[in-house]
Structure 1
Amino acid sequence: MNIDEDTSAWLGCPTPLEMYKHQCAMLEDELTTAYQLLKKARANIAGLVQMNDLLATEKAAAESQLRSVSADLSRVHVQGSEMSKQIMSLKIIASQNEHLHIENQRLLLELSVLRGPRS
Structure 2
Amino acid sequence: MNLDEDTCEWLGLPSPLEMYQQHCLLLENEIHELNLLLSKARADIFGLVSMLDEARAKKDEFAGYLRQRGSEAAAMRKQISDLTSSAIVSKREADNLRLIVNELRSRPTTIV
Whether the TM-score (by the shorter chain) exceeds 0.5 is yes
Equivalent residue runs for 1:93-104 within 5 Å: 93-104=93-104
RMSD over aligned Cα, in angstroms?
2.4
In the aligned structure 2, how far is the partner of 1:87 from the partner of 1:67? Answer: 30
Matched pairs, number? 106
Of 36-45 and 7-16, deviating more is 7-16
Does residue 92 of the first structure (1) align with residue 59 of the second (2)? no
Equivalent residue, structure 2, for 1:60 = 60
Equivalent residue, structure 2, for 1:69 = 69
Could you say which structure has the higher helix fraction? 2
Give the unaligned 5+ runs of structure 1.
none
In the aligned structure 1, how far is the partner of 2:104 from the partner of 2:31? Answer: 105
**Between Structure 1 and Structure 2, whose CA radius of gyration is higher?**
1
Task: Determine which structure has greater relative contact order: mean sequence separation of CA pairs < 8 Å that are 6+ residues apart, divided by chain length.
Answer: 2
| Matched position secondary structure for 1:20 | helix
1:10 is displaced (CA, Å) by 6.0
| Matched position secondary structure for 2:36 | helix
| Matched position secondary structure for 2:75 | helix
In the aligned structure 2, how far is the partner of 1:15 from the partner of 1:9? Answer: 8
Equivalent residue, structure 2, for 1:38 = 38
1:95 is displaced (CA, Å) by 2.6
Amino acid of the structure 2 residue aligned with 1:19: M
Provide the identity percentage.
Answer: 33
In the aligned structure 2, how far is the partner of 1:16 from the partner of 1:104? Answer: 128
Amino acid of the structure 1 residue aligned with 2:65: Q
In the aligned structure 2, how far is the partner of 1:43 from the partner of 1:91? Answer: 70
In the aligned structure 1, how far is the partner of 2:104 from the partner of 2:37? Answer: 95
1:101 is displaced (CA, Å) by 4.0
